[in-house]
Chains A and B, each alone.
Chain A
Amino acid sequence: MGENAIEVRNLTKRFGDFTAVDHISFTVGKGEIFGFLGANGAGKSTAMKILCGLSLPTEGEGTVAGYDILKETESIKKSIGYMSQRFSLYDDLTVAENIRLYAGIYGVSDKEISPRTDKVLANLDFTAEKNTMVGSLPLGWKQKLAFSVAVFHHPKIVFLDEPTGGVDPVTRRQFWEMIYKTADKGITVFVTTHYMDEAEYCDRVSIMVDGRIEALGSPSALKSGFGANNMDDVFQKLARKAERG
């Protein structure tokens, strides 16, 4: 698989006449925090779903964790973690039960689940909520839990689809600390966001406009390339060109 966690070439997804993702190509290195930016409807979530094996591309090719995105989607699923834009853990299971379910599905051994759960919950300062129904947790806690579930089985890559949407600034900060800790363990992080301050935290970012990648590079390179003070300016310059969204 070489040095890259993700490699795609000319990835395209059409729904009828509408081209949601239009020939995008990029690579993400191992252990990198890769920010995947774009306005609403730019095609971020569609592209991410293809990478996670939830959807097949119309055209193009690529590998995720070394597996082919056309033919080896089930193998990809074993090597990745995914956190959906919409909270999708089971509300009617407790915190520990949700962790246990997904750990079991990913094949974490029975003996390992319980101690690892305790450790994860202790890190989150969540031990008191171990047996709380997930449905009754506040949103920020739910998001942190969803992230912990997504990386519980030590995947090679974790995909985060707008993980901090609707979350307060303090929790957002904590969330990014979690992301950094995860990346330190060598897990590649692929994250979409609308918050440009968060884009600054990424190693590299890509900006999608109308289904195409219009800019790709480290935040500092992009800022100097576009002659902008911050990522927000870069984004504004590119997103104004958008014809849809």
Chain B
Amino acid sequence: MLKYLIEKEFKQFFRNSFLPRLIIVFPIMIMLVMPWVATLDIRGVNVTVADSDRSTLSSRLIEKINASEYFSVRRVTLSYADALEDVDDGLSDLVLDIPSGYADSLGRGKSCKILVAVNAVNGTKGYLGGNYMAGILSGTGAGVDVSVLNMYNPTLNYRQFMIPAFLAVLIMMLCGFLPALNIVSEKEKGTIEQINVTPVGKFQFIFAKLIPYWLIGFVVLAICFLLGWLVYGYLPAGSFIVILAGTFVFILGISSIGLIISNYSQSMQQSMLVMFFFILIFNLMSGLFTPVRSMPGWAQTIAACIPPKYFIEILRGVYQRGCGFSDLGIQFAALTIFAVFFGLSAVLTYRKRA
């Protein structure tokens, strides 16, 4: 019986004029565009310098800052108060206050305090900008001692952090939304009535619905993997098998969530909105863009209950740190529990009787 149902799902999928194109074009577009766009690398921070020293050494420092790709010096003022006005007016993100006697102190081998005032309205930009500035200052022997060690991502390349994340987003979108629309579209067309009056097993019916999404997921995975390698020269540090296994389990979970929503929905519109709600929460709370550990305690508890968190940990673990199955035991266990739980729920919530 299962064979005939699976056959039907695949025929319907490939006959659709839109879906096969979607699963090819969508990942390609995201992978070609988004890694350039969604970056937290800070560039072009505007700096106003209050140089009370006016020495050769202070001018040299200003030149050095201006030469860095991260900063552009907008103006050099005489007083700190003048410099702050630039920040007030939104012209500048950062004020560097070089006190008078800066050259003198350095010449006599004493340390000298330089104030870096940062506009922290945009927290990330402010924080990173301040840190970059500290790095430059420490190189001038200005008495700032900074030591930063960037593990696993030595060049602080944000793209390496984001490529696994986009992979997760794509699989979540395609393997989550499409099943959410599937059963409910059979309800809208009325074809489900003919199916419900047959002795078809609930398990077979749901399983046949799930299988095509595995295939879709692996196509998406292959596209992302190839583009990550060909365009960005980025290959996972660990085994591809681990990624495949993680994807396999994850798709079962996320597609089941879609099917459950579809089971409860009366129209495609309703199904779409409910799924959108969940996908948004998944995107924002799974640690895709912001680390789960910096969320408040209650949010971390919620994050621990959503499947994508573990999938992203697996992807990043394998891509960046070369983790194997043994390092990702918890993540695989969690994903398996989710997959079984949601898979069974999808079968149980499918009602053959009104």
- Is A221 in contact with chain B by the CB < 8 A criterion? no
Contact A101:B354 (CB < 8 A) given known A74-B199, A82-B197: no
How does the 8 Å CB contact mask read for B186-226 relative to A, with 1 for contact and 0 for none? 00011111111111100000000000000000000000000
**What is the CB-to-nearest-CB distance from B17 to chain A, in angstroms, rounded to a whole number?**
10
Main secondary structure on B side of the interface with A: helix
**What is the CB-to-nearest-CB distance from A92 to chain B, in angstroms, rounded to a whole number?**
5
- Is B15 in contact with chain A by the CB < 8 A criterion? yes
**What is the CB-to-nearest-CB distance from B353 to chain A, in angstroms, rounded to a whole number?**
6
Stretch in contact with the other chain, from B5-13, B30-38, B154-162, B235-243 = B5-13
Please tell me the number of chain A residues within 8 Å of chain B, measured between CB atoms.
31
Stretch in contact with the other chain, from A2-10, A28-36, A50-58, A227-235 = A50-58
CB neighbours of A97 from chain B (8 A)? 8, 11
CB neighbours of A141 from chain B (8 A)? none
**What is the CB-to-nearest-CB distance from A5 to chain B, in angstroms, rounded to a whole number?**
17
Instruction: Kindly identify, within residues 165 to 193 of chain B, every residue whose CB is under 8 Å from any CB belonging to chain A.
Output: 189-193
- Is A78 in contact with chain B by the CB < 8 A criterion? yes
**What is the CB-to-nearest-CB distance from B239 to chain A, in angstroms, rounded to a whole number?**
39
Please tell me the number of chain B residues within 8 Å of chain A, measured between CB atoms.
25
- Is B16 in contact with chain A by the CB < 8 A criterion? yes
Q: Is A84 within 8 A of B11, CB to CB?
A: no
How does the 8 Å CB contact mask read for A91-133 relative to B, with 1 for contact and 0 for none? 1110001001111111100000000000000000000000000
Tell me the nearest residue of chain B to A52, going by C-beta: B197
**Once bound together, how far apart are the Cα atoms of A49 and B12, in whole Å?**
28
CB neighbours of B16 from chain A (8 A)? 92
Q: Is A87 within 8 A of B190, CB to CB?
A: yes
28 of the cross-chain contacts (CB-CB < 8 Å) are A54-B193, A55-B354, A74-B199, A80-B197, A82-B194, A82-B197, A84-B194, A84-B197, A86-B190, A89-B191, A89-B194, A90-B8, A90-B191, A91-B189, A92-B11, A92-B15, A93-B11, A97-B11, A100-B4, A100-B7, A101-B5, A101-B7, A104-B1, A104-B5, A105-B1, A105-B200, A106-B198, A106-B199
5 cross-chain pairs, A with B, having the tightest CB-CB distances, nearest first = A104-B4, A88-B194, A82-B197, A77-B199, A88-B190
Q: B-side interface residues toward A, CB under 8 Å?
A: 1, 3-5, 7-8, 11-12, 15-16, 189-200, 352-354
